[in-house]
C-alpha cells in the first residue's frame, strides 16, 4: 500500500487532487481510498488530504501518519505546519514552487527526494483560478503521475475530464504539461 499525503490551502483543490489520484488508480485496477482532514473549511486555511493506493482491499480508516509521498500545493505552508511528520525514509516530496528543489531542506526527514514544479504558473497559463489564487490541483497531478509512477498520465487525464465540471480540457492540458516538464 502506498500512502500519499497532500497539504494545501482551502481553495487550491487538495481534496479534489487526492480524489482524482485515487480514481485514476482505480481505473488501473487498484484498490483506493481518498479523504480529507476536514477542518473548518475557509479560504486560505490549511487543508490536508490523503490517498491510499493498494493491490488489496483497503480496510484502514485513519489518517496517514507515515506517508510514502508528500504533496505540497502551497510552499508557504512549509514552516508553519510540520508537513514532513512521519515521512517514510526515502520518501518523496513534491512541491508546487518555482524554486529549485535544492533550495528546500527538511531537517527531520530521512533521505527524501524532493521535486519542485511551478504548478501555479502552469495553472495560470491555462486560466485555472485567478492570479491571486491559481487552482493547482490538476497541474500537480501530472507531476505526481510522473514522479511516483503510481498511475499513468492517461488515467489522470481521463478522470480529470470526467470529474472536473468546468474547463476540462484546460485542466487536462495543465496535468499533461507538468507531466511532461517534470524531470525525475
Partner 1 sequence: MSKKNDEKVIVIQNGDDMPSMPASMGSMKINKTASWRSIRPVIIEEKCKRCMICWKFCPEPAIRPEDPPVIDYDYCKGCGICIEECPFDAIVSEKEGK
Partner 2 sequence: MSNKTKGQKIKLTLPIEEVMSPGHLACQGCGATLALRYTLKALGRKTIMSIPACCWSVIDGPFPYSAAGVPIYHCAFETAASTASGISHALAQLGQDNVTALAWAGDGGTFDIGLQALSGAAERGDNVIYIVYDNEAYMNTGIQRSSATPHGAWTTTTPVKHYKRGPKKNIMAIMAAHHVPYCATANIAYPEDFIRKVKKAKNIMGTKFIHLYAPCPTGWKHPPDITIQVARLATLTNVFPLYEIDNDVYTINKKIQKAKPVSEYLKLQGRFRHLSEKEVQFIQRTVDQNWKRLLKLEEAFRNEKN
Partner 3 sequence: MKKVLTGNFAAAYGATAAKVNVISAYPITPQTTIVEILSEIVADGLLNADFIKVESEHSALAACIGAQAAGARTFTATSAQGLALMHELLHWATRGRLPIVLANVNRAMAPGWSIWADATDSVAQRDTGCMQIYCENNQEVFDSILMSYKIGEHTELLLPTIVNLDAFFLSHTSQIVDLYDQETIDRFLPSYNPEIKLDIENPRAFGGLTSPDYYYEFSYKIQLAHEKAKEIIEEVGKEFYRFFNREYHLSEPYRCDDADMILVDYGTIAGTAKDAVDRMRDKGIHVGVLKIRYLRPFPEEQVIDILKNAKKVGVIDRAISYGHEGPFFTEVKASLYGYRIPIYGFIAGLGGRDVSIVDIESMVDYMQGNKPANHIWIGLKK
Residue with cell 465540471: 165
Instruction: Decide if residue 38 touches partner 3 (CB under 8 A).
Output: yes
Q: Judged by CB under 8 A, which of 10, 37, 81, 129 binds partner 3? A: 37
Angle between helices 168-181 and 153-163 (to 10 degrees): 160
Q: Judged by CB under 8 A, which of 1, 39, 41, 44 binds partner 1? A: 44
**How, if at all, do strands 31-37 and 92-96 pair?**
unpaired
Nearest to 73 by CA among 160, 133, 154: 133
Instruction: Decide if residue 43 touches partner 2 (CB under 8 A).
Output: yes
**Min separation Cβ 112 and partner 3, Å:** 22
Assign 136 to helix, strand or coil.
Answer: coil
Instruction: Decide if residue 42 touches partner 2 (CB under 8 A).
Output: yes
Q: Judged by CB under 8 A, which of 2, 10, 46, 58 binds partner 3? A: 58
With beta carbons less than 8 A apart as the criterion, state whether 128 and 141 touch: no
Stretch that binds partner 1, among 43-51, 85-93, 101-109, 161-169 (CB under 8 A): 43-51
Q: Judged by CB under 8 A, which of 29, 80, 89, 149 binds partner 1? A: 80
What secondary structure letter does DSSP report for 77?
A: G
The grid coordinates of residue 49 equal: 488530504
Interface positions with partner 1 (CB under 8 A): 43-45, 76, 80, 130-133
Amino acid at each position: 500500500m502506498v500512502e500519499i499525503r497532500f497539504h494545501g490551502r482551502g481553495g487550491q483543490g487538495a481534496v479534489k487532487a487526492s480524489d482524482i489520484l485515487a480514481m485514476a488508480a482505480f481505473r488501473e485496477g487498484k484498490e483506493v481510498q481518498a479523504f480529507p482532514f476536514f477542518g473548518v473549511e475557509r479560504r486560505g486555511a490549511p487543508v490536508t488530504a490523503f490517498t491510499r493506493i493498494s493491490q488489496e482491499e483497503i480496510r484502514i480508516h485513519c489518517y496517514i501518519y507515515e506517508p510514502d509521498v508528500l504533496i505540497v500545493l502551497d510552499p508557504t505552508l512549509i514552516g508553519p505546519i510540520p508537513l514532513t511528520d512521519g515521512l517514510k525514509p526515502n520518501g518523496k516530496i513534491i512541491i508546487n514552487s518555482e524554486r529549485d528543489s535544492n533550495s528546500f531542506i527538511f531537517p527531520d526527514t530521512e533521505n527524501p527526494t524532493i521535486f519542485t514544479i511551478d504548478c501555479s504558473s502552469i495553472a495560470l497559463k491555462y486560466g485555472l483560478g485567478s492570479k491571486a489564487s491559481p487552482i493547482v490541483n490538476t497541474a500537480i497531478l501530472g507531476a505526481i503521475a510522473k514522479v511516483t509512477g503510481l498511475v499513468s498520465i492517461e488515467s489522470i487525464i481521463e478522470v480529470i475530464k470526467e470529474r472536473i465540471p468546468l474547463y476540462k480540457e484546460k485542466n487536462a492540458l495543465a496535468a499533461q504539461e507538468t507531466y511532461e516538464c517534470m524531470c525525475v
